[in-house]
Structure 1
C-alpha cells in the first residue's frame, strides 16, 4: 500500500498513476513505449496481464492503441483516490483472472467540502468533493466526487525524429456518488467519460546511419495525415448492505456496470524517401553535405480501422467476519469469509481495412508487368458475442497479538467458464503474511502460491491477418 500524497509528488510526463508504478512497486518496469506510455510490465510479462480495479469495478482499456503518443488518460484519477494497493503477483482469489499483477484503487468518501485546481504546460486538472445531508436524519447523506483532467503532449512530441504538426488532446470527466439510504444500506454510482484524439500531419524525417567513414542519411518527405480517436465510457452502480453488528459483522454487495470503447484509426500517409551519402571527411569543404543519392522510393500507407466493444456485467458478492473467542483481551482471532458470483457479456464489432504500397526505383513491389500491385492488404470484419461466468470463495484467518505481531493466512478457490471457447477452469490460491508489531520498522513478510489462468480478451485472439481464433485457450501460470 502507498500513500497517495507521496505518489502525487512523483514526476510524470503522462500524469497517470500507472506511470509511477515502476518507481514504487517491486518487479515492475516501464513498457516499451518510453516516457510517453503508461503501460507497465511485471516480472517480464506484458501490460495485458495486469488487473486494475476502481471501487471493485474492473477497468478495461482501448484495444487499437499502437504507440505511446496515442495513449491518453488512464482511469484512476489521483485527485479522487483515498487508498491504493498493488500486488506484483501471488494475489488473492478475490481478484480476477490475470497472471501478473493487480492494482486496487478506492476513491474517497468525503465528509467536508474540498476543491483543487492544477495546471502545467502538459495539461491541467480540477476536482470537487463534499457531502450533503438532505434532511434532519443524519443517517441519510449524499457524498460526491467530481474530477476533470486535460492532457496534451504536443511539446514533447516536437522533439521526435519525425517533424510535423502534432495535435494530441486527451480529457476525461469522472464522478463517484454515494448515498446512505439509512444506517445499513448504501447505493453508489461510478461514471467516467474519456476522450482521446491524436492528430498528426508529418512533414519530414531524417535518420543517420552507416559507418564513420561511410555516412548515410535516409531522408523522407511526407504527405497526408493521421487522425485517431478513442472514446471510452463506464457506468457502474452498486447497492451495499452493511448492518451495524457488534459481533460477526457481514456485508452484501450487488454490482452492475457497462463499459464501452469506440475506437477509430484513420491515416493516409505517403512517404517519399531518399537514401543519401554524406561527406564524412573532416578536411573536406563539403563535410556534412549530401554528395550522392543512392536510391529513392515511395511508401503509401492507408488505414481505416474501427472497433466497438461493449462489456456488461453483474456481480453479487459478500463477506462475513467470524470472530473467535479468546481468553486474552490482547489477542484477536477471526475468519473472514468472502464469496462472489459474476456474469459478464461481451460484444465486439471490429472492421479492418489496411493496405500498403511500395515503390522502389520506379517499380511497384511486388513487381508485376500487367498491373500495379499492393505490397500488403488486410481486410476483415469480425463480430463476436460471448458470455463469461466466474466465482470465488476465500477464507482469511487472522491471528493478532498487540505488541507481538499479526499473522494472516488466506486460501481461496476461483472458478470460471467462457462459452466462446468452452473452457472451464478452477484455480486455488494461498497466501501467508506476517507483520511484526514491535519495533519502529513497518515491514511485512509474505509467502504466496497459486495456479493462475488468464482467458484471452479480443485483441489476443486476433492475429496479424485479422483472423480471430475462438478456440484459443487460457494462459496458465503456477
Structure 2
C-alpha cells in the first residue's frame, strides 16, 4: 500500500484568527515552522497548501530549521498540512490570506502512536484523524453552548467522560474517580487544575495550543494515575507583529491577551494574558460581602537558537479569595473566608540532533495553597421531633471549620525520541518529583449527618477533629516504548514504565502495548492495554471525595494502587468530515486506598459514651464507621461501549453544521468492606449532542443537549434517636461528657440512621437532562473583530439533582418523623452576555 495518502489523511485543521488587512499588494505570503512534540523543529518535512481550486495548491519542504515559505500566494482560504516519516500531523491549519499579508503559522506533529486519545486541540481536524482522536478548536471551547469557556465542561460532553455534578469541573473517566486523573501542562504536573471551587478551569482557552485527554490505555511516557491523562500545551506568542492581542468582556469576568515578537529577534515571541472575575466588584454594591474572586496572570517567552534549539520560559500566578457574611448572627448565619494561590515557573529546553534524535527537558516549580475558614449556624433539617410544628432550634447545627493545605512540587522531566531506520521510533525518558505536602484542619461542632461514608471530605463522622499532617516525599519514573511500523498498514507500540516512590518504598513495573491496523483506506482497528499504577499522596487527595491520613499509624501498610486496561475500537470515515467510532473498554482495579472500618475495640470505645436507657438501647449506632486510616482494601471494575459520530468542517464555506453526538452504555462497580456496589460515578446510560450551525458570516447558533442516568447515592435507612452531650448533667450521675437522648418539649429528637457499609450506593439519583443554547453575532465592523454572544445554561430550567439533601418531616401515622428529600447542586436557568474583541 502507498503510505503517503494514509499518513496525509491524518491532517488536522488549525483556525488562525485576527488576520490583518492591507491593500498595497495583490498577493500574500505564508511562512511557518513544522515542529515535533515539545516544539522541536523538523527539517525535511513536506508542507502542502491547498486552496478551494486545483490551481491553488503548492508544495515545499522545510529547511534545517524546520521552516518553510510560500510567497506570491493569491488571497484565499487555504488548508496547510505537513508530512514527515515517523510522525503524524496533530493539527493542520486553515488560514485566510489577505493581499499584502505575511501570515506565520506553526504545524505540530507527534510521534506516530496508537493510544486512546480524546483531543481538544488548537484547531479543527479533518475526518481522517488518528484513531479515537477527537479535535476541537480552543475557539470552539469558547463557543460550545453551556461550557462557559471551560475546557472541562466541553470534555463532559465526550463519550466515557462524566461531570461529578452540575457545578463542578472535575472529571470521572470511564467509571474512575476524579483523583485518578492527571493533568500535565507544558510537561508540568498541575495538581489543582480548577478555580473558584471547580466552577472554572485554570486554563485560558485563548492561549492554549492543544488540550488532549487520553481516556484509557495511555502510553508509557505518563504514569502515576489509574484512569486518564489530560495534557495542555500553551501556545507561543505570534511573532508576525511586534504587538497584537484580544480582549473578552462578559457579565462576570474579563480576559485580556497581548502577544508579539521579542525585540531583537526574528523568531522569538512573547505572550502575556490576564483573567479576572468581578463577582466581588458587582456584589459589594448590594451586599456587605466579597463574593468569590479569581484572577490570574500568565506569561510565556520563546527563544529559537541556531542549531535547532529552543528555550521557553513559562510563568503563572493565580489568586482566589472570599470574604462573606450571610444571615443574622443572632440565629442562622454563615461566615466564610478563603484564600488560594497557585504559582508555577517552568523552563523548557528543546533540541534536535540531526534528523534522528529530538530531546526536551523541563524543569519546574509548582505551589498550590488553599485556606478555608468557616463559621456558621444554620438549620439542616437533619434533627426534629415528630411534632406537627417543629421547634427550629432542634435542627440548628453549629459548625466551625478551618482548613489549610499546600502542595509544593519541584520536578524535572526529560523526553527523548530516537528514530531507528524507517520502522522504529523509540520514546524514552525519566522524571523526578520532590514533593512537600501539608494537610491540616480543625472541625468543631456537628459532622455532616447526610454522608454515609465516614471518610467523606464533606464532613464525614470518621474524620479526626484535629489534623496536622505533613508528608515530604519523592517520586521517580522512567519509560521506554517503541513505535514499530511492521507494515505500511500495521503499527504496534510495546512499552514499559518503572515507577518508584518514597511513600510506599517499593517500585512497580507497568508493561503496556497497543496496535493499530488500517483495515481499509477508511477503516481502522485499534487494540490497546496494559498495567497502570498510582501511589498514595496528598497531591491526589486534592481532587478526591474522601480523605485518608497518610501520616497515621496505619499508613505504613499502604501500598500502590493498580489498574489494568483493555480497549478495542473501530473507526470509519463515513464521508468527508464525518467520522464514526465504536469502542469497547474494560478496566479492573485492585489495592485501592480507602479508609478502614472501626475495629470491635474502637466500636466499644465509641458507644461506651452513650448513656441511653434500656428502652432506647437499640438506638445507639453500633454499625462500624469508616475512618480516615488508610488501607488497600478496595477493588473494582468498569466496562462499557461508546458510540461516537462527529461532523467537522472540510471546506472554507461560511455555512456549516459541525459538532458530535455520542452514546455510552457502561457499568462500573467496586467492592469494599465485603460489599459489592455500584461505583460512585457509575452512569449506565449517557447521551450527548453538541452542535454549532453557522447561518452566515455573522451569526452562529449552538446547542448542547445531555441526557444521562443518575449517579448512585446512599440514602438513610431510617431514623434513630439523636444524642447530645450531657453538659447540664440532666440525669444527675455527675458525668457531663456522656451522650444522652436529645429531648425537646418532652419529645424525643430524631436524626438520620445511615446504616452500615452494606447501604453505600444502594439507591440511584433520577435522570439528568439539560439543554444549553448559545447565540453569537459578529458584525461586519473592523473585519469582524467584534463578537457579541448570549449563552443560556439550562434553557428549559430542568430541575436536575446532582444530589439529595435528606430532610426530616412530620409523620402523623408514626411515632417518629419520616425522611424526605430535596434536590441540590443543580444549575438553574442561567443566561450570560459577553463581548469579545481582537486587536
Shorter-chain TM-score: which interval?
Answer: 0.7 to 0.9
Q: Does 1:390 align with 2:477?
A: yes
Separation of aligned partners in 2, 1:375 and 1:86: 35
Task: Work out which of the residue numbers 313, 317, 323 in structure 2 matches 1:193.
Answer: 317
Q: Does 1:44 align with 2:149?
A: no
> 1:319 is matched with which residue?
417
1:97 Cα offset (Å): 1.8
Separation of aligned partners in 2, 1:317 and 1:273: 53
Is the Cα contact below 8 Å between 2:469 and 2:549 reproduced in 1? no
DSSP-derived class of the 2:536 partner = coil
1:226 Cα offset (Å): 0.7
Is the Cα contact below 8 Å between 1:22 and 1:28 reproduced in 2? yes
Note the alpha carbon deviations across 1:216-241, whole angstroms, 9 max, x for none: xxxx9522411122111111111112
1:111 Cα offset (Å): 3.2
Structure 2: segments with no counterpart, 5+ residues = 1-118, 120-134, 448-460, 565-839
Separation of aligned partners in 2, 1:436 and 1:134: 52
Q: Does 1:240 align with 2:350?
A: yes
Moved more, 101-110 or 414-423: 101-110
> 2:424 is matched with which residue?
335
Is the Cα contact below 8 Å between 1:193 and 1:234 reproduced in 2? yes
Separation of aligned partners in 1, 2:550 and 2:211: 38
Alpha-carbon spacing, 1:375–1:78, altered in 2? closer, same or farther (3 Å): closer
Q: Does 1:456 align with 2:536?
A: yes
Is the Cα contact below 8 Å between 1:99 and 1:477 reproduced in 2? yes
Task: Work out which of the residue numbers 326, 340, 348 in structure 2 matches 1:202.
Answer: 326
1:420 Cα offset (Å): 2.2
Alpha-carbon spacing, 1:127–1:399, altered in 2? closer, same or farther (3 Å): farther
Aligned residues: 401
> 1:31 is matched with which residue?
164
Note the alpha carbon deviations across 1:139-172, whole angstroms, 9 max, x for none: xx322222212236689x9xxxxx9967111121
Task: Work out which of the residue numbers 243, 261, 267 in structure 1 matches 2:374.
Answer: 267
1:103 Cα offset (Å): 1.6
Note the alpha carbon deviations across 1:391-441, whole angstroms, 9 max, x for none: 00111123675xxxx5432111000111122121000111112457845xx
> 2:358 is matched with which residue?
251
Is the Cα contact below 8 Å between 2:407 and 2:539 reproduced in 1? no
> 2:150 is matched with which residue?
16
Separation of aligned partners in 1, 2:345 and 2:370: 18
> 1:145 is matched with which residue?
271
> 1:367 is matched with which residue?
none
Q: More strand per residue: 1 or 2?
A: 1
Q: Which has the larger radius of gyration?
A: 2
Moved more, 39-48 or 173-182: 173-182
Task: Work out which of the residue numbers 223, 226, 237 in structure 2 matches 1:99.
Answer: 226
Alpha-carbon spacing, 1:343–1:165, altered in 2? closer, same or farther (3 Å): same
Alpha-carbon spacing, 1:434–1:118, altered in 2? closer, same or farther (3 Å): farther
Q: Does 1:432 align with 2:558?
A: no
Separation of aligned partners in 2, 1:449 and 1:85: 19
Separation of aligned partners in 2, 1:473 and 1:320: 35
Task: Work out which of the residue numbers 440, 445, 456 in structure 2 matches 1:351.
Answer: 440
Is the Cα contact below 8 Å between 1:88 and 1:101 reproduced in 2? yes
Separation of aligned partners in 2, 1:20 and 1:397: 34
Q: Does 1:88 align with 2:215?
A: yes
Task: Work out which of the residue numbers 115, 119, 122 in structure 1 matches 2:252.
Answer: 122
> 2:101 is matched with which residue?
none
Alpha-carbon spacing, 1:400–1:38, altered in 2? closer, same or farther (3 Å): farther
Alpha-carbon spacing, 1:164–1:407, altered in 2? closer, same or farther (3 Å): farther
**Residue correspondence of structure 1 range 402-413 to structure 2 within 5 A:** 407-413=490-496
Alpha-carbon spacing, 1:115–1:430, altered in 2? closer, same or farther (3 Å): same
1:273 Cα offset (Å): 6.7
**Residue correspondence of structure 1 range 467-478 to structure 2 within 5 A:** 468=552, 469-478=555-564
Is the Cα contact below 8 Å between 2:187 and 2:413 reproduced in 1? no
> 2:87 is matched with which residue?
none
> 1:286 is matched with which residue?
none
Is the Cα contact below 8 Å between 2:342 and 2:366 reproduced in 1? yes
Task: Work out which of the residue numbers 272, 297, 312 in structure 2 matches 1:173.
Answer: 297
> 1:214 is matched with which residue?
none
> 1:215 is matched with which residue?
none
Alpha-carbon spacing, 1:153–1:94, altered in 2? closer, same or farther (3 Å): farther
Separation of aligned partners in 1, 2:487 and 2:300: 35
Separation of aligned partners in 2, 1:165 and 1:133: 45
Is the Cα contact below 8 Å between 2:196 and 2:294 reproduced in 1? no
1:321 Cα offset (Å): 1.9
Is the Cα contact below 8 Å between 1:128 and 1:145 reproduced in 2? yes
Q: TM-score, normalised by structure 2?
A: 0.44
Q: Does 1:292 align with 2:422?
A: no
DSSP-derived class of the 1:453 partner = strand
1:14 Cα offset (Å): 4.8
DSSP-derived class of the 1:79 partner = helix
Note the alpha carbon deviations across 1:116-144, whole angstroms, 9 max, x for none: 11111131212123223615xx5xx3222
Is the Cα contact below 8 Å between 1:73 and 1:170 reproduced in 2? no
Note the alpha carbon deviations across 1:60-101, whole angstroms, 9 max, x for none: 118xx9xx9623643322111222322210111011221111
Note the alpha carbon deviations across 1:183-220, whole angstroms, 9 max, x for none: 3221111211111223443338xxxxxxxxxxxxxxx9
Separation of aligned partners in 2, 1:470 and 1:8: 46
Is the Cα contact below 8 Å between 2:336 and 2:373 reproduced in 1? yes
Q: Does 1:423 align with 2:506?
A: yes
DSSP-derived class of the 1:126 partner = strand
Q: TM-score, normalised by structure 1?
A: 0.75
Structure 1: segments with no counterpart, 5+ residues = 158-162, 205-219, 278-289, 325-333, 359-373
Is the Cα contact below 8 Å between 2:220 and 2:512 reproduced in 1? yes
Note the alpha carbon deviations across 1:276-298, whole angstroms, 9 max, x for none: 99xxxxxxxxxxxx983445233
Is the Cα contact below 8 Å between 1:432 and 1:446 reproduced in 2? yes
> 1:53 is matched with which residue?
184
Task: Work out which of the residue numbers 230, 246, 251 in structure 1 matches 2:340.
Answer: 230
Separation of aligned partners in 2, 1:176 and 1:3: 23
Separation of aligned partners in 2, 1:168 and 1:188: 33
1:449 Cα offset (Å): 0.4
Task: Work out which of the residue numbers 457, 465, 484 in structure 2 matches 1:378.
Answer: 465
Alpha-carbon spacing, 1:222–1:75, altered in 2? closer, same or farther (3 Å): same
